[in-house]
């Protein structure tokens, strides 16, 4: 994507919405959520988070890219797992069925990377109750994908938990947990197959689920996006692994790496650095690259100078009753 187009959008990003007429609002790390009875309007902003902190600067077009990537994979996996999507009336907006979130993130790992590698590298050989063999290298494919759930913290860092800990500290029973775990692993397998068809490896990803007022369990939030997933390029993977070289990857891990290089890991004593404009442009280009690579589609950005007003217009023209 042309850097100049991104630079021109730096002053026209979607930081936060305040649609007081749309119902009860909750501002998440990235999404602004509006509740209307049995529906939820999810507005994906251009905010970006890392180490469980929202960074002060936005990323142009990020909300559009995330929302459209998620929509693509919700549709591609609805035969496996029911999801909450009802319609996508705007590039940044999804209208969904209202759910009470299950307070667990179902993280599936097919390769030893990121947090799992950092734990392994310091000697940990059991992660969330899942044993890891000795002798693994960074980025190496695991013998079989593993589920490493975390608690979904409203503030601060999410915590790794075992199956029993997840059940004992949340409002779900064992059979529900096992159903969601089965779904998470099935979704990962589908995601890995789809990535492979595009010349990518789905390294790890996380899934979130919710329950409707009627008791239905649904896949919610996002699926296989750069905010929830890590991808490697297949081309050169084995050679880089053998050489102990960093893998070429598509994810926002490079944002975390940049922050760590500048002294920030989300610790209380860390001072969050400002993202330079050139780096914000680079982040957008990475998100565009991932969108186009994983979906096989060309990203067509909406460059409206006031995205919040564009969204308001789209929602005013879109009856919630139409998608019931």
Predicted pLDDT of residue 322: 46
More confident residue, 317 or 179: 179
| CB 59, CB 49: distance < 8 Å | no
Q: How confident is the model at residue 154 (pLDDT cuts 50, 70, 90)?
A: low
Instruction: Give residue 252's pLDDT.
Output: 83
Q: What is the pLDDT of residues 255-309, one digit of tens each?
A: 999 999 999 999 999 999 999 999 999 999 999 998 999 999 999 999 999 999 9
Which of the two residues, 240 and 321, has the higher pLDDT score? 240
Domain residue extents for the chain = 3-100+276-323, 102-250
| pLDDT band for position 39 (cuts 50, 70, 90) | very high
CB 56, CB 166: distance < 8 Å: no
Give residue 320's pLDDT: 54
Strand partners, 209: 219
C-alpha 176/C-alpha 62 separation (Å) is 33
Confidence (pLDDT) at 158: 74
- pLDDT value at position 155? 54
pLDDT at 174: 97
Burial 204-220 (b: 16+ CB within 10 A, else e): bbbbbbbbeeeeebbbb
The torsion angle over the Cα atoms of residues 62, 64, 66 and 71, rounded to 10 degrees, is 180
- Give CA–CA dist 130/281, Å, rounded: 39
Planar angle of CA 175, 180, 186, nearest 5 degrees: 130
Rounded Cα–Cα distance for residues 29 and 58 (Å): 12
- Average pLDDT of the chain? 93
Please, what is the Cα angle at 249 between 52 and 282, to 5 degrees? 70
* Residue 87 reports pLDDT greater than 80: yes
Q: Calculate mean pLDDT across residues 85-89.
A: 97
- Could you give the CA distance from residue 300 to residue 282 in angstroms, rounded to a whole number? 17
Question: Any idea how long the chain is?
Answer: 324
Distance between CA atoms of residues 156 and 148, nearest Å = 18
Confidence (pLDDT) at 276? 97
Class of domain 3-100+276-323 (CATH, top level): alpha beta
Question: b/e for 280-312, b at 16 or more Cβ within 10 A?
Answer: bbbbbbbbbebbbbbbeeebebeeeeebbebbb
Q: What is the pTM of this model?
A: 0.89
List phi, psi (to 5°) of 287: -65, -40
Q: 321 or 69: whose pLDDT is higher?
A: 69
Average pLDDT, stretch 237-249? 96
Better-scored residue on pLDDT, 95 or 249: 95
Residue 250, pLDDT > 90, answer no
* ∠ CA 229-235-241, rounded to 5°: 80
- The helix (H) or strand (E) run that includes residue 230 is strand 229-233
Which 3 state secondary structure label does DSSP give 11?
coil
Choose the CATH number for 102-250 among 3.10.20.880, 3.30.470.20, 1.10.3470.10, 3.20.20.140: 3.30.470.20
If 0-12 CB within 10 Å is exposed, 13-18 middle and 19+ buried, where does residue 14 land? Answer: buried
pLDDT in tens, 102-113: 999 999 999 999
Cα separation values, 264 from 76, 154, 251, 256, Å: 36, 20, 18, 9
Lowest-pLDDT range, 26-40, 65-79, 179-193, 310-324? 310-324
> Residue 318: is its pLDDT beyond 80?
no
CA atoms of 54 and 56, how far apart (whole Å): 6
pLDDT beyond 80 at 156: no
Alpha-carbon span 291 to 276, nearest angstrom: 23
What pLDDT score was predicted for residue 324? Answer: 43
Cα four-point dihedral sign 59, 60, 64, 68:
negative
Average pLDDT, stretch 66-79? 97
CB 299 within 8 A of CB 240: no
The confidence score (pLDDT) of residue 254 equals 87
Asked whether the domain spanning 102-250 has the same topology as the one spanning 3-100+276-323, the reply is: no
């Amino acid at each position: 994507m042309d850097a100049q187009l991104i630079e021109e959008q730096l002053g026209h990003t979607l930081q936060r919405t305040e649609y007081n007429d749309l119902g009860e609002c909750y501002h998440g790390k990235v999404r602004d959520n509006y509740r209307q009875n049995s529906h939820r309007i999810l507005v994906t902003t251009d905010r970006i988070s890392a180490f469980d902190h929202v960074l002060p600067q936005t990323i142009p077009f990020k909300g559009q890219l995330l929302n459209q990537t998620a929509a693509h994979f919700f549709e591609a996996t609805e035969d496996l797992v029911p999801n909450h999507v009802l319609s996508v009336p705007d590039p940044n907006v999804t209208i969904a069925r209202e759910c009470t979130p299950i307070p667990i993130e179902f993280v599936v790992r097919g390769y030893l990377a990121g947090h799992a590698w950092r734990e392994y590298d310091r000697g940990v050989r059991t992660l969330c109750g899942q044993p890891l063999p000795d002798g693994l290298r960074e980025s190496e494919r695991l013998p079989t994908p593993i589920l490493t759930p975390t608690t979904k913290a409203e503030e601060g860092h999410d915590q790794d938990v075992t199956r029993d800990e997840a059940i004992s500290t949340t409002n779900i029973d064992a059979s529900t947990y096992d159903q969601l775990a089965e779904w998470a692993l099935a979704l990962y397998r589908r995601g890995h197959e789809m990535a492979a068809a595009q010349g990518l490896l789905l390294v790890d990803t996380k899934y979130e689920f919710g329950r409707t007022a009627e008791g239905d369990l649904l896949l919610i939030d996002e699926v296989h996006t750069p905010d929830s997933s890590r991808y490697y390029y297949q081309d050169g993977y084995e050679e880089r692994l053998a050489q102990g070289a960093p893998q070429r990857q598509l994810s926002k891990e490079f944002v975390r790496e940049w922050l760590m290089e500048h002294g920030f890991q989300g610790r209380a004593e860390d001072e969050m650095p400002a993202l330079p404009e050139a780096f914000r442009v680079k982040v957008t280009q990475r998100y565009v690259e991932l969108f186009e690579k994983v979906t096989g589609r060309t990203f067509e950005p909406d460059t409206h100078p006031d995205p919040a007003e564009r969204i308001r217009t789209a929602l005013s023209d879109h009856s919630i009753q139409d998608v019931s």
